[in-house]
Each structure stands twice: as C-alpha cells, then as structure tokens.
Structure 1
Amino acid sequence: MTVIKRLGSGWMVIAALFFAIMGALVKIGAPYFSAMEMVFYRTILSVVVLGGVAVVTGKSLATPYIKAHLGRGVAGTMGIMLFFYALIHLPLATAVTLNYTSPIFLAILSFVILKERINRATAAVLLLGFMGVIILLRPSIGGEQFVAGLVGLSAGAFAGWAYLQVRELALLGEPEWRVVFYFSAVSAFIAGILAFVDGWHMPQNGQQVLILLGIGVTALIAQLSMTRAYKVGRKFVVASFSYLTVVFSTVLGVLWFAEVLHWQELVGIAIIIISGILGSVLPKKK
C-alpha cells in the first residue's frame, strides 16, 4: 500500500507502458479480427469490471448527465475506432504519435467551441505541433498509407473532442469511473453492432483468445492507472509522462515488428511530444 501511495505521477508510466502494449496487441490481432471487433473487446471488459465493482460497492450508475455521457461516448468511440484502423495500417510509433495530437486539437476546440482565448505562446505551440505532424507524415506515409495517415490524424481530433467533453463532465462533478464506464458501454455497443454487420470472427485457438483478452486487460489497467495518475500526481509531470507511450511504442515496434524509423520521423515525433507537453502547461487565455 505504501508503494502504491508513493507512485504518484509514476502511475502514468504504468499507463503509458500498458497503452503501448495494447497498441502492439492490436497490430498482432489484425490478421484475425477486424478493428471493430477489437474495439468491442477493448471496451466490454471495462464495462463488466467497472459495472461489477459499482454493484458490489454500492455505487450508483445513475446519472443526470446521460446526454453528455452519450456525446462523450460517441466522440471517444470514433476516436478509438480510427486509432485502431491506424494501428493496423501504420507503423506502431507513427499511429500512436498521431493519436497524441489530441492536445493540439483540444486547444483548438476549446477556442472554437468554448470561445476560450488563446495567447500567442499557445498559438506558437499549436503551429509547432502541426509542423511536427507534417515532418512525421511526409517521410513515413506512402501512397497506399496516405489514407491511414489521415485516419490517424482524425483519431487525434476525435480524441481531443472527447477530452473536451470529459473536462465538462468533470466540472459537472461526475466521478472518473462513471465517465469511463459510460464511454466503454457506448463504445462496446456501437462497435458490437458494426462488428455484427461486418461479420464476427470467433477465436480459433488459445493464442487468439489471449490476444483479445490482452487488449481488454491492458486497456483497463492503462485507463485506471492514468485516472489514478491525474488524481494523485502533479499535472505537468503526468502530462509529460503520458508521452512515454510513444517511446514504449517505438521500442515495441522495433522489437516486435522490426519497424524502422528514419531520422525525419524521429524529429517529427519529438516535436509533437514537445508541443503536447508545452500545450498542457501554457495558459490558454490572455
């Protein structure tokens, strides 16, 4: 228990590692299952576990903000579906980095939707982030991967939209576990329907079962660790540590998939990480 309390922002290191492993498992499962199926298995375990814990501990699943949860759930579901598609068709580090453009889109959406004023420093960081995107995509996205690259960038945009709604739910006083539960429930429902229309692929052996189980378990551990990190850790340190997912994904891409990143791609990844960290600590208003 003492070790758990001392981890603090270190919970984000755990979250980053398990998010990276989840991404790698999605690539491994791609030959056997569709993106929709893997999204379903990624979220259904969270529904079962969080719902079960709520029932056992006497916590209520009822909420007066069901429309807000549905909106967050749809945006988050779109983000994760597009992210899984990018994971299947792009190098692991590239897909993960594109998904981590979400802070850039969060700042833009805050300006457009919430009418928050952005100062010059933040505007410069946003431009820096998009420069990183251009540098990352230009050498790594060939003709057949161009669509996947746009899909990966769109995943970051939808993730930013989802985070904006999470922030609004937090201001309304909704607990983190309930936000995760309803997101997972909406996502599992939508992905389940789409997978049914496309056609289910049942696991053929123990290895495929472990892949699906691994996607769900790693996602749940990562989600809970991230929530814990933001609750007990320092915001700047937590935001910085979150980008370790890119680092871990780069290592896994090399070790598991023999992926090779050129220096231009590494520069683009570094710029996006720096812009994301700066964007999380710079004030958005004048």
Structure 2
Amino acid sequence: MVVAAVFYALYAVCIKFSSMEGIGSFEVLFYRSFFGLIIFYVMMRMQHITVYTTHPIDHMIRSFVGAGAVMAGIYSISHLNVGLAMTLNYTSPLFIGCFTIGILIFQHKGINWKLLSTLVLGFLGVTVMLSPTITPEEYFPAGVGLAAGFCTAVATTYVKRLGLMKEPELRILFYFVLVGTICGLVGTVFTGGFTMPTSVAAMAIIGFVLCSTCAQFFLTRAFSRGNLVLSGALQYTVILFSTLMGMFVFGDSVSSAVVGGMVMIVVAGILASYFVRQETHKAIEERKHTEEGLQRHLRHKEARDH
C-alpha cells in the first residue's frame, strides 16, 4: 500500500507537469483510460473473460461516476497545490460514512454517534485546511476536488454491488476505462482537440499512464492479500508523499493550518472506514441471525405438521 501511495503521488506530479505544458484534463483522462483499456482487454482475453454482462446499468453508473471522479481529480490537481488536491480527492471515506448514516436513519436503526462525530471532524478538517490558504479563484477547483471524493464514494458502492453480483474485477475495470476513453475523447474534441505535446509533456503523459497503472496494481494487491484495516490506514500516506513532492518539485507552501486540516481529515477518514466496516459487519450478523431464526421456525412448523 505504501508503494501504491508513492505511485499515486508521482501520478499527481506528472499530471501537474502535463497541465503546465498545456495538456487539458480531458486529454489526460483519454490517455490514462485508453492505455488501461488495452491492458485490461488483453488480460481479459488471457483469462477467457468476455465483455458480455447481465448488469449493464450498474456498469454504466459505476463507469460514468468513476470517470467523473477521475476527471474531477485531474482538474483539481491541475489547479491546486498537489498535496491540497490529493487530500480533497481522498475524502471518499467521509462521504461513504454519510451514506451509512443515511441508511441507518432510513431503516430506523438510530444514529451511530461515533461515526457522525468522526464525519464532523473530517469536514471540519476540510474547512480548516481550505479557509486560510486558497484564493477566491481556487474555490471552484477545491469544490471539484471534493466532488472527486464524493464520486469516488458512489463508484465504490457500485463496485461492491457488482462484486456481490459475481462480476469479474477485470470486467468492472474494462467498462470503467472504456467509458473513460470515450468521455476523454469526446471532451477533447469539443474543447479544441488534442494538443501537440512537448518533450516534457510527452514524458509527463508516459509518467502518469505508467504510475496510475502500477498504483492500481499495488493497491489491488494490498487490499486483496493484506490486512484491510491496515491497508485502509496506509493508503493515506499518499497525502504525505504528494505534499512533500509538491514542496520539493513545485515549491508549494504548506502552512500549519494546512497540516492541521490534513491530519484531521486523515484521522477522520481512517476512523470513518473503521466504523463503516463495523456497521457492515453488524448488518451481516443481523441478516444471518434473521435467516437462522426463519429456518428454525420452518423446521418447527414442519415438525408440527408431521
């Protein structure tokens, strides 16, 4: 997970360089997605996984929302300090916590006050981090960065939903990068077409394409083979790495308020992930208990009938 965080930080640095060289956000989305489209299609063919799916609507929602998250992340990185943008992009656990609170209220199960207080801490951290550091011109990119966190949270819920439907991970990724490629291509055409990259831009494009692919590989490996709680906590090291790289590469300034806000968001994100996992485990146990009770009732009914 730490290696994945390093690659994601390098990915952000490469995007920043490409934007400085005139490469638009839609172009970045296209290059990143098209490379992934080739890689994942080849991997699907090697594993004899077809592109046919019985859940096209769920794939469509996950893919468009996921592409929106990537696009929003690219835009915020291009217009804000690298560390600041990456911190906003990693607010998805806070939004997932909000979804969980909403579900608990809808099901009349009460409010998890620990989770709620954690979410308040996290969004207070966003306010502390942004209020003294950004100019009015950066309000919109900051809002887009938060939107990236929200879209990531929505996309994550659909990834889990598709996983429960036994959809192969490669097929989920394939449709995601397919939609990203189409959106990036259409967006680029309607915003002036492709820019002839300079030598620096070409290196940046190669860099963010390779770094995003490597980061996704190590991220998947960490979550599939490692401890989920530890992996979820360590993924926030990307904020540390991206902040340091922004300072040394681009000369980004980091105030005590920014550091304090980042710490609040990281702590809140880790705690929110933990409390959401607790609620999920509790819901599974309740469902299992209900099913066992129903089975016992049916057995007793059959015994009485005999």
Structure 1 length-normalised TM: 0.91
Q: Deviations 1:171-200 (Å, cap 9, x if unpaired)? A: 112222222221111111112101111122
The equivalent residue for 2:167 is: 174
SS in 2 for 1:30: helix
SS in 1 for 2:132: helix
Measure, in 2, the Cα distance between the counterparts of 1:225 and 1:182.
20
Aligned pair partner of 2:5 in 13, 16, 33: 16
Measure, in 2, the Cα distance between the counterparts of 1:146 and 1:273.
21
Segments of 5+ residues of structure 1 without an aligned counterpart are: 1-11
Structure 1 position 113, deviation (Å): 6.2
Segments of 5+ residues of structure 2 without an aligned counterpart are: 283-306
Measure, in 1, the Cα distance between the counterparts of 2:204 and 2:196.
9
Aligned length: 275
Q: Deviations 1:52-100 (Å, cap 9, x if unpaired)? A: 1221332222221121111001111111111111111111011000011
Aligned pair partner of 1:268 in 261, 267, 279: 261
Structure 2 length-normalised TM: 0.85
Q: Structure 1 residue 251 and structure 2 residue 244: aligned?
A: yes
SS in 2 for 1:284: helix
The equivalent residue for 1:5 is: none
Identity, in percent, stands at 29
Measure, in 2, the Cα distance between the counterparts of 1:45 and 1:220.
9
Measure, in 1, the Cα distance between the counterparts of 2:117 and 2:210.
38
Alignment map for 1:182-201 (pairs within 5 Å): 182-201=175-194
Per mean C-alpha deviation after superposition, the further-off stretch among 173-182 and 191-200 is 173-182
Q: Deviations 1:22-68 (Å, cap 9, x if unpaired)? A: 11111100032111100111111111011012213322222211211
CA RMSD, 1 decimal: 1.7
The equivalent residue for 1:33 is: 23
Q: Is the 8 A contact 1:203 1:209 kept in 2?
A: no
Structure 1 position 167, deviation (Å): 1.4
Measure, in 2, the Cα distance between the counterparts of 1:209 and 1:82.
22
Structure 1 position 203, deviation (Å): 3.3
Alignment map for 1:195-234 (pairs within 5 Å): 195-234=188-227
